[in-house]
Amino acid sequence: MPIMKIPSPLRPYTEGQSSIIAPGEKVSEVLDFTLEQYPLLKKHLLSDDQQLRPFVNVFLGDQNIKELQGIETPLKEDDTLMIIPSIAGG
The domains located in the chain, with CATH, are 3-85 (3.10.20.30)
pLDDT digits (tens, 9 = 90+) for 19-68: 999 999 999 999 999 999 999 999 999 999 988 998 899 999 999 999 99
DSSP string across 40-89: GGHHHHB-TTSSBPTTEEEEETTEEGGGTTGGG-B--TT-EEEEEE----
pLDDT digits (tens, 9 = 90+) for 29-40: 999 999 999 999
pTM across the whole model: 0.88
Q: How many CB atoms lie within 10 A of CB 3?
A: 14
